[in-house]
Amino acid sequence: MSYQKTRSFQFISFAWLIFGYAGGGWAQSAVNVSVKPDTDIGAAVNAAIISLPNKMGTIQLPAGSFIQTSPIKISGSNVHVVGSSSGTTIKYNPAKYNLLDSADLVDGWRAAGAGLSSLNAFGEDHPDPMEGSAYLSVNVGAGYARVMKSIPVTNFTAFTKIGVWYALNLTNAPGPFEFFVSDGARTAFWSLTPASIYATWKFGGLDPSKPSGSDSGIPDMTRITTIGFRKLSPQTKYYFDAVSLYTPTGPAFEFSSCTQCSLENLNIQWEPAADSDAAILADQNTRQLIVSNVHTHGGAEGISFAGPSSGNTCQGCVVEFASQNGISLRGNTSGNELLNAQANRNVVGIYVAGAASGNTISGARCVRNDGAGIFVDGNSNQITNPNIETWMTFGLVILGAHNSVSGVTASSSVGESAVQLIGGAADNTLSDINILQSGGSGLDLGGGVKPQIHNTATDIIVHNSGSSSWHGGPKASSEGRGLCLCNAKDNTITRLRIYDTAQKSTVPGAEGIIVNNGSSGNILEDVVISNARHEGITLWDASDNTFRNVRLVGNGMREGGGAGIRIDSGTKNTILENVCYWMNGGGGVKNLSQSSIVRNAKQVPGLNPEMPCQ
């Protein structure tokens, strides 16, 4: 299936309404752009910008749906592009895009060594489609397999990229596989490696002129008749979505050295780029740009504030189906605000890069993004009141330092941790965190080579961590806990409530809290653990940690042997003060460490975990 190519681009007219000199300076000029449907609106808008008196003013776009061939480039100051209140939609030029297969149906596909089906529902091991209503599921048998499809004779050289979506099911990670094309006699192939997070889509923008290799020589790329995937690993399930040909255009809108400019009331449907093309790009000292009520679909990124730039605002923006990040703050950019933004079904919803600092994200809603809802690698950013819902992957991830996070509502229904500090995250402040559910751990300070240090978390509530049937709590794992401190040092956590850990999992062994892998110097105060599947708290391979004012109720009952708290023999210098417990399957406190101290621990019949110990 392919889009009908439209080659008729006709610029119709500009109607100029120019206001003269007033009040000692030039008032804003307004230009109404009039274009027919199927006309290149990009050329019309660029011409209108050039025509503005004093190079400042407002470009008013008409209502309707229009194609765009030419990127719209905006620089200067006080240039405003405004769509119609009744709706203006800009679409990537269909002449530069050819959909070879939507993967919505199995029709036409054939397999050797694998079973085929088309999936449009999701579950524990199924992602959402990235294009269309469904995707192809390939279940490989005992040997290596291939799947292929015959297509009408197609000229691949008419486009500069081959777009391929692919993902893995919950299987052991196999090696690379190959996407191939054939003219019937010769075959070219490209090596692809799936994302390491299972059921996470990855997009490949492949160069038709630079395959990884060939069989019997390079095929005639102007007469390709077969596409497919091969060298699929045994006992592995793969997912494949749309396969397309496209020619990257660049950003739909590029703001460069633009001061106090704006973009409003637009729906932008852009190319499926694996490259750096964003639907909206602001860079090169763009300052005080306002992007308001803009909805993007596709692109490598939906909206990118890149450096050096500062003080830009994205207000009420919606970004979907980007092959990298929905909204990104990249490079040396600072002082930007994302206000009530929505990022849905991108690879990462909102990304804050390492050099981005001093930015504010307020009221964001991030739903079912494939890698993480919000990923913060930068420093000294402020995140308030986000609502993050993921299915297979992480909710909020922090790698940077000195970030402030408050008012979080998060759930990671099947996948990884709802809130994760990783890779040496340091001196971050978290408060008022409400984790509704997480397939993995609720709050996880673990992972990476560097320890997570000097972070503070206050008023944390974790419900139903380890809710996935494939997450559990083996001793060497951080999976499924309410809180994991794994190679975490000198962190302080106060007013922590953890309920119903791993009660929905079929995998045994998940505690309310685990402290392991060299974690030391951490202080936890005013802690409640209720109804964990295994132990309430487990410490092993840890030292010099302190717990104060802890209440442990109903833990370990499902597995029978789980204590309220267990201090393993390899743990050193743990201090446990003021502990109340009741009805834990393996007893209240098990201290197997000779150097650890337990003070004022008591069993309180009928203990209400919400009430302080008396």
* Assigned domain for 417 exists: yes
Predicted confidence band of residue 579 (pLDDT cuts 50, 70, 90): very high
User: What's the pLDDT score for residue 126?
Assistant: 77
Could you tell me if 37 and 168 lie in one domain?
Answer: no
| C-alpha to C-alpha distances, 445 to 456, 507, 566, nearest whole angstrom | 11, 22, 20
Residues 15 and 104 in one domain: no
Tokens of 430: 């978290």
pLDDT at 169 (0 to 100):
83
**Residue 415: which pLDDT band, with cuts at 50, 70 and 90?**
confident
Q: Cα(23)–Cα(308) distance, rounded to whole angstroms?
A: 34
User: 39 falls in which pLDDT band (50, 70, 90)?
Assistant: confident
Closest to 465 measured CA to CA, from 488, 432, 437, 485: 437
Q: Which of 93, 111, 142 is the last residue of a domain?
A: 93
Q: How much of the chain exceeds pLDDT 90, in percent?
A: 76
CATH number of the domain encompassing residue 188: 2.60.120.430
Q: What is the CATH number of the domain that holds 470?
A: 2.160.20.10
Whether pLDDT at 141 is above 60: yes
Question: Tell me, what's the pLDDT at 447?
Answer: 78
Q: What is the average per-residue pLDDT within 180-206?
A: 91
Is 545 a member of any domain? yes
Of 203, 224, 246, which marks where a domain is finished?
A: 246
Res 608: pLDDT: 92
pLDDT of residue 18 exceeding 50: no
pLDDT above 90 (res 10): no
Amino acid 505: pLDDT: 76
Report the number of distinct structural domains present in the chain. 3
Mean pLDDT on 369-392: 93
Question: CB-side exposure of 314: number of CA atoms within 13 Å?
Answer: 32
Question: 128 and 82 in one domain?
Answer: no
CA distance 237 to 221: 30
More confident residue, 507 or 602: 602
Average pLDDT over residues 16-27: 30
Mean pLDDT of 488-514: 91
Q: What is the mean pLDDT of residues 309-317?
A: 96
Are residue 24 and residue 111 in the same domain, yes or no? no
Let me know whether 50 and 101 are in one domain: no
Nearest in space to 609 (alpha carbons), one of 521, 513, 518, 499: 499
Q: Tell me, yes or no, whether 138 and 49 share the same domain.
A: no
Asked whether residue 573 is domain-assigned, the answer is: yes
- Residue 94 burial by Cβ neighbours in a 10 Å radius (0-12, 13-18, 19+): middle
Residue 478 pLDDT > 60: no
pLDDT of 24 over the 80 cut: no
Residue 252 lies in a domain: no
Q: Average pLDDT in the 477-504 region?
A: 90
Q: Are residues 598 and 485 in the same domain?
A: yes
Last residue within a domain, chosen from 197, 219, 246: 246
The stretch 317-338 carries a mean pLDDT of: 95
pLDDT at 9 over 50: no
According to the model, what pLDDT value does residue 413 have?
Answer: 78
Spacing of C-alpha 114 from chain mean position: 30
Residues 479 and 529 placed together within one structural domain of the fold: yes
Question: Quick one: pLDDT band at residue 6, thresholds 50, 70, 90?
Answer: very low
Confidence band, pLDDT 50/70/90 cuts, at residue 124:
low
- What per-residue confidence (pLDDT) applies to 242? 94
Range from 85-99, 122-136, 192-206 that averages highest in pLDDT: 85-99
Q: Please check the confidence at residue 129 and state whether its pLDDT lies above 90.
A: no
pLDDT per residue as tens digits for the range 238-269: 999 999 999 998 999 999 999 999 999 999 99
Residue ranges making up the domain that contains 225: 97-246
Nearest CA to 101 out of 242, 298, 205 is that of 242
Place of tokens 């004012």: 549
Residues in Cβ contact with 46 at an 8 Å cutoff, skipping those fewer than 6 apart: 70, 72, 73
pLDDT value at 475 more than 60: no
Are residue 125 and residue 78 in the same domain, yes or no? no
Higher pLDDT, 579 or 391: 579
Q: Rounded to whole angstroms, how far apart are CA atoms 227 and 243? A: 9
The CA distance from 38 to 249, in Å, is 17
**How does the average pLDDT of the chain come out, rounded?**
89
Q: What mean pLDDT is predicted for residues 20-45? A: 69
Q: Indicate the DSSP class of residue 127.
A: P
For range 335-364, the mean pLDDT: 96
Q: What is the pLDDT of residue 476?
A: 42
Say which range, 123-137, 292-306, 589-603, has the weakest mean pLDDT.
123-137
Task: Find all residues with CB under 8 Å of 176, minimum gap 6, and list them.
Answer: 191, 192, 193, 231
Q: Can you tell me the distance from the alpha carbon of 271 to that of 250, in angstroms, rounded to the nearest whole number? A: 9
Instruction: Give the confidence band of 487 by pLDDT, cuts at 50, 70, 90.
Output: very high
User: Does 307 fall in a domain?
Assistant: no
When pLDDT is cut at 50, 70 and 90, the band that residue 7 belongs to is: very low
Averaged over 122-137, what is the pLDDT?
81
Chain segment 56-71, per-residue pLDDT in tens: 999 999 999 999 988 9
pLDDT per residue as tens digits for the range 267-282: 999 988 777 689 999 9
Pick the residue with more confidence: 494 or 479?
494
86 vs 504, more confident: 86
In this prediction, residue 440 carries a pLDDT of 86
pLDDT tops 60 at residue 473:
no
In a domain, residue 223? The reply is yes
Q: Residue 331: inside a domain, yes or no? A: no
36 and 171 housed in the same domain: no
Does residue 267 lie in a domain region?
A: no
Asked if 471 contacts 507 with a C-beta cutoff of 8 angstroms, the reply is yes
- Segment 185-195 shows an average pLDDT of 95
Residue 27 has pLDDT above 50, yes or no: no
Q: For residues 53 and 155, state if they share a domain.
A: no
What mean pLDDT comes out for the span 334-338? 97
Q: Is residue 213 very low, low, confident or very high in pLDDT (cuts 50, 70, 90)?
A: very high
Rounded distance, CA 23 to CA 534, Å?
Answer: 74
3-state secondary structure of 413: coil
Residues in the chain, how many? Answer: 614
Domain shared by 496 and 538, yes or no: yes
pLDDT computed for residue 426 by the predictor: 98
pTM for the model stands at 0.90
Give the pLDDT confidence score for residue 28 in this predicted structure: 64
